[in-house]
Amino acid sequence: MAVPKSLQAPLQLKIFSNGFLVIWCILAAFPIVWIAVMSFKTPFDAFSSNPLNVILGPNTRANGNGLSLADLIIGTGLACLLIYGALKWLPRQIARFAPQGMPLFGWLIGVLVYGIFTLILYFAVLPNVMDVLNPLLGLLGQDIVGVTTEHYRAVWIDRNFTRNFGNSMMVTAGVVTISLTVGTLAGYGLARYGTDLAFWLLIIALIFRALPHSVLMAGYLPVFIWSSEILSPILGDAAPTLYGKPWAVIIVLVSINQPFTIWMLRSFFHNIPAELDEAARVDGCSHFQAFRRVIMPVMWPGVITAGLFSFLLAYNDFLVTSLLLDGQNMTMVPAIAGMFNRETTASDEVQAIAAAVSITAPLFVLVLVFQRQIVSGLTAGAVKG
């Protein structure tokens, strides 16, 4: 769309607004980039008051962990190659090898294999190759940046962060699956047949958005703690104590999130013309078949958007998980809060930073892949609400 000459901004305004944008981008990205840098340094460097020390990490380098200029060049080059490969080469291979009609499965395997390949390349092959190469390169081969992965190793291996990661995955997977299943069916039903309910749904979704989660937790918590006594008349001795089980968290998070998901999916299904399923019915599909064969292929964008938001809610939650789970079953976010509260040594602190970066990394990938869906989800709520 060409902007008419009369509406174009004068030069000063352009400079001002672009300058402002640059500042905003730095502001937005800086804290995240910075903790990522900090997580690779020894505590002494990470909390140094001189920013150059944090980036170059002289103390880390002195400990014998460093990268030379040649390392950096080759590493970056490889990364570029790998990203290029992931964008161009990988989809073609997946299209070739994936079994017919199961593209999702193919993608899953493909991404997994590619990820493992990358990890092996960076952590097993490259260090050994560079160890041989660096002395031969002279000045280029000298360490200039201190980098260490010891904190990541400490967090993931010594501190059993994998278990927290597993718990997080379990809770998020449960929440996303249940809320999408219920949400799709209810949303579809409401979009096609509900008339007055939609408004009330919106109100309920709004109220739930407004309710502080702790208010709900005050109601749920006693019930879960005493659940074995409450359920025992029905289930007998097998009645479980729900407190401390991931199931309890899933139930609570789903019920917090459900009105919003249903409402979002309802407005999405509303935009799919009803003639589509009518045509399917005319062609002899049953009610369910019409949904299965006609609606399901076109509903994915909306489902992905709604799924993203339930994922974010479950993944980012601190309050519900920290109240309902005990030490062993903690998900990642409360676990890290426990980590920095101890704060005994400086290296604990850097380990907490490494854990924080590990938590953020999946979200980063998520934005990278699903940017469009997130933006459309955010605006859809606004434009229709």
Tokens 């005319």 locate to 282
Minimal distance, residue 58 CB to another protein, in Å? 15
**What part of residues 197-236 is at the interface with another protein (CB under 8 A)?**
199, 203-204, 206-223
Tokens 């200039």 locate to 144
**What part of residues 318-377 is at the interface with another protein (CB under 8 A)?**
318-319, 323, 333, 336-337, 340-341, 349, 352-353, 356, 359-360, 363-364, 366-368, 371, 374-375
d(CA 166, CA 162): 6
CA 194 to chain centre: 33
CB nearer another protein, residue 7 or residue 104 = 7
Minimal distance, residue 206 CB to another protein, in Å? 7
**What part of residues 149-188 is at the interface with another protein (CB under 8 A)?**
186
Minimal distance, residue 7 CB to another protein, in Å? 6
**What part of residues 106-145 is at the interface with another protein (CB under 8 A)?**
none
**What part of residues 51-80 is at the interface with another protein (CB under 8 A)?**
51, 54
In the list 11, 12, 49, 136, the residue contacting another protein (rule: CB under 8 A) is 49
Burial of 306 (0-12, 13-18, 19+ CB in 10 A): buried
Give the largest CA-CA distance in the chain: 79
CB nearer another protein, residue 124 or residue 223 = 223
Residue 303 contacts residue 177 (beta carbons within 8 Å):
no
Residues contacting another protein: total by CB under 8 A? 82
d(CA 347, CA 116): 29
CA nearest to 186, candidates 291, 285, 278: 291
Minimal distance, residue 181 CB to another protein, in Å? 13
Minimal distance, residue 225 CB to another protein, in Å? 8
Residue 306 contacts residue 180 (beta carbons within 8 Å):
yes
**What part of residues 250-309 is at the interface with another protein (CB under 8 A)?**
251, 255, 258-259
71-92 CB burial, b ≥16 within 10 A, e <16: beebeeeeeeebeeeeeeebee
CB nearer another protein, residue 17 or residue 328 = 17
